[in-house]
Amino acid sequence: MQPVRHLVSIDDISLEEMTALFRAADRFSADPRGFANFAPGLITASLFYEPSTRTRLSFESAMLRLGGGVLTAAEMTSSSASKGESLADTVRVVGGGYADLIVLRHPSEGAARLAADYSPVPVVNAGDGSHEHPTQTLCDLYNLHVERGRIAGLDVVLAGDLKYSRTVHSFAYALARFGANIVCVPQPGFEMPDYVLRRLREEFGVEPMRADAKRLGALAAKTDAVYLTPHKPHQLSLFTDASHWEVEHVDAVYMTRPQTERYSDGERQQRDYLRIEKGSMGAESLRDAVVMHPLPRRDEIAADMDDDPRSIYFKQTARGVPIRMAILSWLLGRLPEAPLAAPRIDVNHRSKVAHNPCPNPSCISRTETRHASPSFAVIARTPLRARCGYCSREFTFRFVGCASTRNYHAPESHSVRQILPGNLVFFSDRDQAEEHGFHATQSVLA
Amino acid sequence: MQPVRHLVSIDDISLEEMTALFRAADRFSADPRGFANFAPGLITASLFYEPSTRTRLSFESAMLRLGGGVLTAAEMTSSSASKGESLADTVRVVGGGYADLIVLRHPSEGAARLAADYSPVPVVNAGDGSHEHPTQTLCDLYNLHVERGRIAGLDVVLAGDLKYSRTVHSFAYALARFGANIVCVPQPGFEMPDYVLRRLREEFGVEPMRADAKRLGALAAKTDAVYLTPHKPHQLSLFTDASHWEVEHVDAVYMTRPQTERYSDGERQQRDYLRIEKGSMGAESLRDAVVMHPLPRRDEIAADMDDDPRSIYFKQTARGVPIRMAILSWLLGRLPEAPLAAPRIDVNHRSKVAHNPCPNPSCISRTETRHASPSFAVIARTPLRARCGYCSREFTFRFVGCASTRNYHAPESHSVRQILPGNLVFFSDRDQAEEHGFHATQSVLA
Amino acid sequence: MQPVRHLVSIDDISLEEMTALFRAADRFSADPRGFANFAPGLITASLFYEPSTRTRLSFESAMLRLGGGVLTAAEMTSSSASKGESLADTVRVVGGGYADLIVLRHPSEGAARLAADYSPVPVVNAGDGSHEHPTQTLCDLYNLHVERGRIAGLDVVLAGDLKYSRTVHSFAYALARFGANIVCVPQPGFEMPDYVLRRLREEFGVEPMRADAKRLGALAAKTDAVYLTPHKPHQLSLFTDASHWEVEHVDAVYMTRPQTERYSDGERQQRDYLRIEKGSMGAESLRDAVVMHPLPRRDEIAADMDDDPRSIYFKQTARGVPIRMAILSWLLGRLPEAPLAAPRIDVNHRSKVAHNPCPNPSCISRTETRHASPSFAVIARTPLRARCGYCSREFTFRFVGCASTRNYHAPESHSVRQILPGNLVFFSDRDQAEEHGFHATQSVLA
């Protein structure tokens, strides 16, 4: 029997699969009311452990448009959860007979991964804390596909709070995978974080360059723009000084709201948030740039933009329905043009020792200890780096053990390179290692 | 393309359209489970910014009976709204692709009008603060149509709290439009307010007369009844002393609960609320009067009335489903007998100056300033009177400006009569006028 | 016209009807997505006055699988109820036209009985306080039917908190009706209460015997097991010493969570709750016992049992959908193999005197006095015992009146035996009797 496919992370899905979904979404979009017999007798369950009406309604509309049924648990905290039920049990119950697919929203990072580990039916991540929201990313990409006919090679401005916006980080990774270029126009103090830039470089070969933003006009007046391109410098040298990119033509401006709920007190003081309005969109380079926003917006896009033909943010959210129709029917096995292949290779290893090195206190591996079985992925071997298999947060550690020899070492030790990935154990100090019965080697004592 | 029809106010819909809806409701009523293929692939969204389970379930039942789908956001405040999203954005998102019709409940007066201004799909007002609830009124009228076969010429008692009940005011206007007579039997201290009586007279030609209520027996023992009739006194003179009407036969008694949530402290002290029970319904004139109530009731109708054949309040609420089936299918363009004509003429003017004279602090034009564009309707020219285009509250003002000449005047000034309605601007004092760059004329200085 | 059938108590339904429902559930189970045209145009309403997401979703999934529509009021308290609407009015409104069947969850014992008294459509009790939850019981029985092919004669262990678990009490009565044997393995201090044991004996002829639990191994190490069997001692004597049963082979272990929300402070101190884990399930007698749990579980079943082939608790809850499909389609008159016969005889009498002797403060007869009409059932005549017709709580009383003669007596008086059951009135003291105009007889004065 084929393993169940889930959509936990945008990484779970190949470019080919995304493209097939876009084609299906085109078809649904052309006749949104014409598929009412597409999924008869099938049921999705919206399990929302925090409210997100917009996301929920978008999924539920998609399922109703496909002729399926919808179960709604919009406020999961008020119920069984308060009787202490674990997420792992809940998805086994709901996926065991109530529903054919689970749409999960949860405040803990990694929750959707844990749910997918236990659910007998597909799980779609509708947001897990500040971690991932892959259908939002697919919706954003789908909009570029519709508006521009392609994604590779586009120049996309990401503007506003690039520090805390989960949406913008996921979008950036996805743009990089598709080979689009990114122009960062951050709110000062809210630049794209280093760990995002590092992942863009390490996994997608993206090089950051200082950008000459004068052709962006008022939009970039307050900030230094950065250009991120998947092209190698030598490829670029045909066009430009390899360390300095001049932005000439923008295909899309993706604006994000200030994520004030995650701000420090100092950050909350900040005023004069970037604002897109007729005035700031006057530069020649922005002449036919579509303006996107994941919504809800507050004041970062002025109402005077609403009638501007470049503003597609309401269309953008409307397209969330056909793309979710495609995602749901694909995972339910009803999409001939996108057969349900085996999922992309799972890079996670289960920890062989009952020890959880994840530093993220709101990671599901920390909040639901009964059923989470700590796991990790190796990012690099020299020097060794690893991240949590649930929340993707990178580990910090001072010693590395081998679950087979029960020895532990300094990370830079030669012995560490010999350890099979699945046998790696990460310790923050000697006490921790010894408590788990590991023995220090020379490299530790040195 | 035809403009989208909405149902924001009972004023939006003509008597002919109402009658067509009643006929459609008769058809739905005759076979409530026989229309499950009437609206396949169509979706309504219940956006409820305050809870009203009964109203919501009635709409949702109607849509399910038509074979359509339902999206439910029963507690809108807990979601995007708290991230600061405006109503205008929400309806553009939900109406932009999620749903084919929006059912809106909102605590701010005028909210449904604002929503209709922005929504790409029909908006049905399911209650906006203390303003309107047109489908309740249509349901009440439909019940008279079913029970009595007509509305014109009926004698309808309105009893209880006639001061604060939105339902009863809307019902009174609608009865007047249909040419029914109204007998007011208010709870002492909770008489029909002057502004309602004035509108009944001004817009519907209704004359109030003192009524001789002795034939109402115990029902009117505690109160002075008032008779409101759309007939001219000379028409009545055939039957009666023109200033005094003797109630002989009542077709319906419409009872309302005390709207305690709106009472002043003094009003809350009040005891002995009117009560309909076997005893108070014993008068000969009430022999075959149907007893109506919009529900929920508390003690104002005694349980001993529940088995009385005149009590139709449970039937009344049940008929809310077929009439809402008619309304939904009409607005969705699925009702051949009621084609979607252009809406009744919009009497509202957009203010040409960014100044909002609405005195109602909970009007949507005050609570959602980002997207509300102040508007007004002229009630009368001499003396000039106007009301808010959202919440219908009458303006109070001391000066009147002309947006074209930028002059402002005393309201009784001759110049004011020359101002085109669309150019009117209403100021409460000279400072306000001058701030907006208006110049005083002689009539002001005088 | 046939009276409406409800499912308020497991007592409402005959063994034959249950068996027919099991057969229908088998059919639904075999092809859960194949019945999407079974109930077109029909609607159920979930009226939940307290949250219970799992139960609600199970019912709603069942209705969607049948192709019907679902109305959801998941948080009834926040709405009309707060405007003071009675349950009796709400079910008349919702059942009067909105829905074809009501699924009711309510915190007051007896609420579903009251709702059934007033509802024009079938009411299914989805839990009324600590009283009944009959579809859970049917689901549990159905699982035994599927797993063991029969219920009569099975040996079923009930383990854990047998004192407060409503589920376990209802299950015990039902097992007794079907002729299964029960082995009680209570958490110490949380034994099966006397009133349950008494009802088992009085109504189902169940005899309790001390059980020799050594063959249960670790499972019963901390506690004294009790064996409850519907067999007469002389029937047993073929196999065993009539006062002592040796448990040899167990068919099912039904584990329950600690009902901590009902615990006294002292009870809450208690530690070391019974726990089912690989270790405690090692005894030979448990070799092929299925492990059941109504869920949610906390720690009383260890995660290491989840992969054990004997663990069926996730299957058990999944089977809640087909059995509820059977229940809903039966009550909606769509189940040919289970015709809607007249309900089992109602044993309740309406009190002829406006006096409510129910001692349970959270009984619906005490919390909704406007529409509840006190009622009772006679349990025994000598000595006279009676229970509330809503919440089933047994009355305590010191005097007994006759509504016909208006005399009252000591309960043991000969005159009491002459009173027709419908005329019985129960008083806690003389003042109460005299207040209602009853006269003391010799037996009282003596």
pLDDT 10s per residue in chain B (446 long)?
Answer: 567 999 999 999 999 999 999 999 999 999 999 999 899 889 999 999 998 999 999 999 999 999 999 999 998 874 444 557 899 999 999 999 999 999 999 999 999 999 999 999 999 999 999 999 999 999 999 999 999 999 999 999 999 999 999 899 999 999 999 999 999 999 999 999 999 999 999 889 998 888 877 888 888 888 878 888 887 655 555 545 555 677 889 999 999 999 888 898 888 887 788 999 999 999 999 999 999 999 999 889 999 999 999 999 999 999 999 999 999 999 999 998 888 887 777 789 999 999 999 999 999 999 988 888 899 999 999 899 999 999 999 999 999 999 999 999 999 999 999 999 999 999 999 999 999 999 999 999 87
Is B232 assigned a catalytic role? no
Active-site residue (options: B56, B65, B105, B145): B105
Active-site residue (options: A6, A56, A113, A133): A133
What are the chain B neighbours of A319 within 8 Å (beta carbons)?
Answer: 97
Whether residues C321 and A42 touch (CB distance < 8 A) is answered with: no
Residues C244 and C183 in one domain: yes
pLDDT on residue B225: 84
d(CA A100, CA A91): 11
Whether residues C41 and B295 touch (CB distance < 8 A) is answered with: no
Active-site residue (options: A5, A6, A56, A105): A105
Q: Report yes or no on C213 lying in a domain.
A: yes
The SS3 assignment for B66 reads coil
The last residue of one of the domains, among C317, C340, C357, is C317
Q: Which domain, by its residues, includes C184?
A: 135-317
Size of interface A-B (CB pairs under 8 A): 83
What are the chain C neighbours of A69 within 8 Å (beta carbons)?
Answer: 61, 64-65
Whether residues B61 and C96 touch (CB distance < 8 A) is answered with: no
The last residue of one of the domains, among B301, B331, B361, is B331
Residues A14 and A161 in one domain: no
Is A44 assigned a catalytic role? no
What are the chain B neighbours of C51 within 8 Å (beta carbons)?
Answer: none
What are the chain A neighbours of B100 within 8 Å (beta carbons)?
Answer: 33
Q: Mutate which of A38, A53, A314 to test chain B, going by most B C-beta atoms within 10 A? A: A53
Residues C106 and C19 in one domain: yes
Q: Mutate which of B52, B57, B275, B300 to test chain C, going by most C C-beta atoms within 10 A? A: B57
Q: Which of A43, A83, A370 shows the shortest C-beta gap to C303?
A: A370
Residues C261 and C153 in one domain: yes
Q: Report yes or no on A341 lying in a domain.
A: no
Q: Give the distance, in angstroms, between the CA of residue A301 and the centroid of all CA atoms in the same chain.
A: 23
CATH of the domain at C412: 2.30.30.20
- With contact defined as 3+ CB pairs under 8 Å, the chains touching C are A, B
Return the HEC string of chain C: CCCCCCECCHHHCCHHHHHHHHHHHHHHHHCCCCCCCCCCCCEEEEEECCCCHHHHHHHHHHHHHCCCEEEEECCHHHCHHHHCCCHHHHHHHHHHHHCCEEEEEECCECHHHHHHHHCCCCEEEEEECCCCCHHHHHHHHHHHHHHHCCCCCCEEEEEECCCCCHHHHHHHHHHHHHCCEEEEEECCCCCCCHHHHHHHHHHHCCEEEEEECHHHHHHHCCCCCEEEECCCHHHHCCCCCCCEEECCCCCEEEEECCCHHHCCHHHHCCCCCCCECCHHHCCHHHCCCEEECCCCCCCCECHHHCCCCCECHHHHHHCHHHHHHHHHHHHCCCCCCCCCCCCCCCCCEECCCCCCCCCCCCEHHHHCCCCCCCEEEEEEECCEEEEECCCCCECCCCEEEECCCCEEECCCCHHHHHCCHHHEEEECCHHHHHHCCCEECHHHHC
Residues A128 and A163 in one domain: no
Residues A108 and A31 in one domain: yes
Q: Report yes or no on A336 lying in a domain.
A: no
Residues C301 and C327 in one domain: no
Per-residue pLDDT of chain A (446 residues; tens, 9 = 90+): 567 999 999 999 999 999 999 999 999 999 999 999 899 889 999 999 998 999 999 999 999 999 999 999 998 874 444 557 899 999 999 999 999 999 999 999 999 999 999 999 999 999 999 999 999 999 999 999 999 999 999 999 999 999 999 899 999 999 999 999 999 999 999 999 999 999 999 889 998 888 877 888 888 888 888 888 887 655 555 555 555 677 889 999 999 999 888 899 888 887 788 999 999 999 999 999 999 999 999 889 999 999 999 999 999 999 999 999 999 999 999 998 888 887 777 789 999 999 999 999 999 999 988 888 899 999 999 899 999 999 999 999 999 999 999 999 999 999 999 999 999 999 999 999 999 999 999 999 87
How many domains does chain A fold into? 3
Active-site residue (options: B6, B113, B133, B257): B133
pLDDT on residue B78: 44
The SS3 assignment for B128 reads strand
Q: How close, in Å, is residue A61 to chain B by CA atoms? A: 5
Q: How close, in Å, is residue C242 to chain A by CA atoms? A: 42
Residues B153 and B102 in one domain: no
Residue A2 burial by Cβ neighbours in a 10 Å radius (0-12, 13-18, 19+): exposed
Whether residues C61 and A84 touch (CB distance < 8 A) is answered with: no
Residues A145 and A126 in one domain: no
Whether residues A61 and B71 touch (CB distance < 8 A) is answered with: yes
What are the chain B neighbours of C99 within 8 Å (beta carbons)?
Answer: 57, 61
Whether residues A96 and C315 touch (CB distance < 8 A) is answered with: yes
Residues C235 and C325 in one domain: no
Q: What backbone phi and psi angles, to 5 degrees, belong to A323?
A: -70, -35
Which residue from C minimizes the CA distance to B257? C83
Size of interface A-C (CB pairs under 8 A): 83
What are the chain A neighbours of B368 within 8 Å (beta carbons)?
Answer: none
What are the chain A neighbours of B94 within 8 Å (beta carbons)?
Answer: 57
Residues B204 and B308 in one domain: yes
Global pTM? Answer: 0.95
A231 DSSP 8-state letter: S
- Name which of B82, B101, B150 is nearest B335 in CA terms: B101
Q: Report yes or no on B5 lying in a domain.
A: no
Residues B225 and B362 in one domain: no
Is C436 assigned a catalytic role? no
pLDDT on residue A78: 44
Mean pLDDT over the full length of chain A: 91
What are the chain B neighbours of C333 within 8 Å (beta carbons)?
Answer: none
The residue ranges of chain C whose pLDDT is under 70 are 1-2, 78-83, 232-244
Q: Which of A43, A74, A80 shows the shortest C-beta gap to C61?
A: A43
Q: Report yes or no on B231 lying in a domain.
A: yes
Whether residues B64 and C79 touch (CB distance < 8 A) is answered with: no
Q: β-strands A252-256, C123-128: how paired?
A: unpaired
Q: Report yes or no on B338 lying in a domain.
A: no
Is A33 assigned a catalytic role? no
CATH of the domain at B106: 3.40.50.1370
Q: Which of A71, A83, A84 shows the shortest C-beta gap to C57?
A: A71
Whether residues B78 and A36 touch (CB distance < 8 A) is answered with: no
Determine which helix (DSSP H) or strand (DSSP E) holds B265, and give its type and residue range.
helix B265-268
Q: Report yes or no on B343 lying in a domain.
A: no
Active-site residue (options: A6, A44, A55, A409): A55
- Percent of chain C scored above 70 by pLDDT? 95
Q: Report yes or no on B104 lying in a domain.
A: yes
Q: How close, in Å, is residue C55 to chain A by CA atoms? A: 10
Q: Give the distance, in angstroms, between the CA of residue A192 and the centroid of all CA atoms in the same chain.
A: 15
What are the chain A neighbours of C60 within 8 Å (beta carbons)?
Answer: 71
Q: Which of A42, A79, A84 shows the shortest C-beta gap to C298?
A: A84
Q: Which of A42, A83, A98 shows the shortest C-beta gap to C57?
A: A98
Is B105 assigned a catalytic role? yes
